[in-house]
């Protein structure tokens, strides 16, 4: 059975922490592919207005260039509106019925899994690979969710910190990679 990782999020902007945890997930769980899925709009951040979908996908392409096991799936952006994980999972299950799916998730979201749309179906369809924050205690998932903690590469950086640094005129290239930092600067993003 093929193992496929799905990594949803706003990626606003993508940063090296995203890439490192994706690599850790592939190594630790033997994932054949890892799919980055940028959200159109997070149901948990309805007030948030991310950078344009075009820019976020462009930044993902730059960050993932040369990574043969990483792909981008823009289906949530193409659907528009609020992005729900279950819709994306159903699509992937129809594309690859013989695959075993894993969803990468930040540890801070684990306690709310039972609040996600069609939570029981989601719990049956996926196993969750939990991305710890440095210094954060272990988390437990609500029943019936199956979680596995990632061990490698936790990096204490967030997209919101990067946006704050851009506004303050501080460099971000060591957090995003130089190509992503250059595209942020050239497109005047997050100012």
Please state, in angstroms and rounded to a whole number, the distance separating the CA atoms of residues 17 and 15.
5
Q: What percent of the chain has a predicted confidence (pLDDT) above 70? A: 98
pLDDT given for residue 167 in this prediction: 96
Is a pLDDT exceeding 80 seen at residue 72?
yes
- Rounded to whole angstroms, the Cα distance separating 112 from 138 reads 15
- Amino acid 47: pLDDT: 78
Q: Which residue has the higher pLDDT, 132 or 184?
A: 184
* Tens-digit pLDDT profile for residues 106-126: 998 999 999 999 999 999 999
Q: Are 171 and 161 in contact (CB under 8 A)?
A: no
Strand partners, 34: 5, 70
Residue 178: per-residue pLDDT: 95
CA distance 161 to 85: 25
Q: Which of 25, 15, 3 is nearest to 99 (CA)?
A: 3
**Predicted TM-score of the model (pTM):** 0.92
Between residues 42 and 33, the one the model is more confident about: 33
Where do the structural domains in the chain lie, given as residue ranges?
A: 2-186
Segment 148-175, tens digit of pLDDT: 999 876 667 889 999 999 999 999 999 9
pLDDT for res 138 = 78
Query: What's the topology of domain 2-186?
Result: Rossmann fold (3.40.50)
Q: Residues 59-86: what's their mean pLDDT?
A: 96
Nearest to 162 by CA among 29, 24, 31, 15: 15
Predicted confidence at residue 154, as pLDDT, reads 65
**More confident site: 76 or 46:** 76
Rounded to the nearest integer, the mean pLDDT of the chain is 93
Tell me how far apart the alpha carbons of residues 28 and 16 are, in angstroms, rounded to a whole number: 18
- Helix H or strand E encompassing 39: none
């Amino acid at each position: 059975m093929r193992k496929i990782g799905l990594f949803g999020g706003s990626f606003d902007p993508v940063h090296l922490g995203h890439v490192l945890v994706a690599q850790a997930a592939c190594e630790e769980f033997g994932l054949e592919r890892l799919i980055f899925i940028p959200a159109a709009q997070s149901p948990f951040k309805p007030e948030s207005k991310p950078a344009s979908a075009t820019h976020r996908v462009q930044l993902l392409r730059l960050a993932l260039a040369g990574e043969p096991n990483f792909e981008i799936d823009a289906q949530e952006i193409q659907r528009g509106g609020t992005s729900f994980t279950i819709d994306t999972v159903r699509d992937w299950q129809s594309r690859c019925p013989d695959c075993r799916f894993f969803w990468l998730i930040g540890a801070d979201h684990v306690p709310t899994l039972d609040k996600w749309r069609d939570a029981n179906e989601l719990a049956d369809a996926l196993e969750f690979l939990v991305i710890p924050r440095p210094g954060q205690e272990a988390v437990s998932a609500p029943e019936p969710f199956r979680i596995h903690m990632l061990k490698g590469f936790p990096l204490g950086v967030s997209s919101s910190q990067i946006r704050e640094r851009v506004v303050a005129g501080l460099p971000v290239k060591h957090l995003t990679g130089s190509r992503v930092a250059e595209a942020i600067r050239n497109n005047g993003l997050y100012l």
